[in-house]
């Protein structure tokens, strides 16, 4: 009889409510990817994404593996306890476990620290032989060659939202609010272009996203990959730094290969705020030129905006909206500054006594302020953030922005309308 294993992508109620209002929610790639490592002649796999499915607590499993990010931590611990009471062995991994292994280790049988390409297969083999360990730690830098295909077939989800691939891992920069350096080995890596292309060719959806933190970081790799994507006639999006978008060759190839939009972390329109969080690669005085360059190549910009930096004031929300409209920014992903564990921002705020909550469920960057801002109250920060989102996705703002952008008007309208309807909901 095969060993029964459940792979769970969790989603607590607060974030699920927020995400259900959004227009486009691409599935996380972690669990379908880890499922690809499992030998089905030995394991019977069940894959559940809690965003769209119920957790099958009524079923018996030998192993339950859960990926844990910080806002889902307590939710995951509760799930783990329920399955342990039913006799299952529970494995926890993911960003929060890597950041706080001692905390997570008290709620499961095994923890996976760091990248899992080597440790996850080792655990699977050890479990079948009854010699699994309480801790598996990624010591060496995993090779990203010859990786298994994600098991999208195991996931019950809209095929349009299953289109996710990763071509690179890591980021060469060190932004003070970002935890990538704590989660991954400190080395940017790329996957073989042929393997990425094989994965892209198997996607059922015409639309997909590159689940990379910095798609353009290795220019030669990006150019080769985009050249091979072009004949497929797909439409896609990726994340890149603003500095890397100041490259006509990259943008030309991206447009030819079907790139619809790039997610770019502008974060702020304040040079002082950017310097304060080690984001000096963003030069505010270059925003207009580079965004115009994106538009001239027919690529929309989805800008990442963060509110809550020490330099922000109640006027920041109005000034940011005005700047977005003047630059013709097509869409925004807005977040509240969130001091994730072990980041420099977290350390500074903890040492200065500015953290107002240690409830990890509030550390999601969308629904709660968990620190004392420098120049306003937490309530003013949240209200300003919410009002900015409402005003940015108003019809009036859309018209102002499109007069400047003039890029993919139909796509732009559909995306903006989706966000607008989400806000109304």
Residue 26 has pLDDT above 80, yes or no: no
CATH number at 418 reads: 3.20.20.70
* Per-residue tokens: 131: 């010699």
CA angle in degrees (0–180, nearest 5) for 17-19-24: 150
pLDDT digits (tens, 9 = 90+) for 245-261: 999 999 999 999 999 99
Residue 348 has pLDDT above 90, yes or no: yes
Kindly state whether residues 100 and 206 are assigned to the same domain. Answer: no
pLDDT digits (tens, 9 = 90+) for 169-199: 998 888 988 988 889 988 899 999 999 999 9
Kindly state whether residues 104 and 227 are assigned to the same domain. Answer: no
Kindly state whether residues 127 and 195 are assigned to the same domain. Answer: no
Amino acid 19: pLDDT: 64
Terminal-residue alpha carbon distance, the chain: 47
Residue 166's pLDDT band (boundaries 50, 70, 90)?
A: very high
Q: Measured between alpha carbons, how far is 258 from 232 in angstroms, rounded to an integer?
A: 9
Residue 27 has pLDDT above 90, yes or no: no
Give the residue from 269, 263, 414 showing the smallest Cα distance to 327: 269
Do the domain assignments include residue 211?
Answer: yes
pLDDT digits (tens, 9 = 90+) for 201-234: 999 888 999 999 999 999 999 999 999 999 999 9
Number of structural domains the chain divides into: 2
Do the domain assignments include residue 154?
Answer: no
pLDDT digits (tens, 9 = 90+) for 88-97: 999 999 999 9
Kindly state whether residues 113 and 167 are assigned to the same domain. Answer: no
Q: What is the mean predicted confidence (pLDDT) over 328-347? A: 96
Kindly state whether residues 104 and 211 are assigned to the same domain. Answer: no
Helix H or strand E segment including 305: strand 300-307
pTM for the complete prediction?
Answer: 0.93
Can you give the residue range of the structural domain that contains 172? 163-424
Amino acid 159: pLDDT: 54
Amino acid 253: pLDDT: 98
Do the domain assignments include residue 218?
Answer: yes
Lowest mean pLDDT among 4-13, 178-187, 375-384: 178-187
Residue 63's pLDDT band (boundaries 50, 70, 90)?
A: very high
CATH number at 112 reads: 3.40.50.280
Last residue of a domain, one of 102, 137, 172: 137
């Amino acid at each position: 009889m095969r060993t029964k294993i459940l792979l769970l992508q969790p989603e607590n109620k607060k974030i699920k409510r927020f995400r259900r209002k959004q227009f486009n929610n691409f599935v996380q790639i972690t669990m379908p990817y880890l499922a690809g490592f499992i030998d089905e002649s030995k394991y019977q796999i069940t894959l559940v994404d809690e965003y769209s499915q119920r957790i099958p607590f009524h079923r018996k499993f030998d192993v339950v593996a859960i990926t844990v990010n910080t806002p889902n931590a307590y939710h995951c611990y509760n799930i783990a306890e329920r399955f342990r009471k039913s006799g299952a062995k529970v494995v926890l991994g993911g960003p929060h476990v890597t950041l706080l292994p001692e905390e997570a280790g008290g709620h499961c049988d095994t923890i996976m620290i760091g990248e899992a390409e080597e440790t996850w297969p080792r655990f699977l083999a050890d479990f079948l032989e009854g010699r699994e360990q309480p801790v598996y730690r990624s010591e060496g830098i995993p090779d990203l060659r010859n990786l298994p295909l994600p098991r999208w077939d195991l996931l019950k989800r809209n095929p349009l939202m299953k289109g996710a691939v990763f071509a690179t891992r890591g980021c060469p920069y060190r932004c003070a609010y970002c935890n990538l350096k704590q989660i991954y080995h400190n080395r940017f890596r790329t996957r073989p272009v042929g393997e990425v292309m094989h994965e892209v060719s198997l996607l059922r959806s015409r639309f997909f996203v590159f689940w990379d933190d910095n798609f353009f970081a290795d220019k030669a790799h990006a150019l080769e990959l985009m050249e091979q994507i072009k004949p497929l006639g797909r439409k896609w999006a990726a994340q890149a730094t603003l500095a890397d978008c100041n490259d006509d060759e990259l943008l030309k190839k991206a447009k030819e290969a079907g790139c619809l939009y790039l997610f770019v972390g502008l974060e702020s329109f304040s040079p002082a705020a950017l310097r304060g969080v080690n984001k000096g690669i963003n030069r505010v005085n270059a925003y207009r030129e580079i965004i115009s360059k994106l538009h001239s190549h027919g690529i929309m910009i989805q800008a990442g905006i963060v509110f809550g930096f020490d330099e922000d004031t109640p006027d920041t929300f109005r000034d940011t909206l005005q700047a977005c409209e003047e630059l013709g920014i097509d869409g925004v992903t807005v977040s509240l500054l969130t001091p994730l564990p072990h980041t420099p921002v977290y350390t500074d705020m903890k040492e200065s006594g500015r953290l107002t909550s240690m409830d990890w469920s509030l550390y999601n960057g969308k629904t709660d302020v968990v620190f004392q801002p420098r120049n306003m109250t937490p309530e003013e920060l949240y209200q300003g953030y919410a009002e900015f989102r409402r005003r940015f996705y108003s019809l009036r703002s859309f018209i102002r922005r499109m007069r400047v952008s003039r890029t993919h008007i139909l796509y732009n309208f559909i995306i903006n309308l989706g966000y607008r309807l989400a806000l109304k909901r």
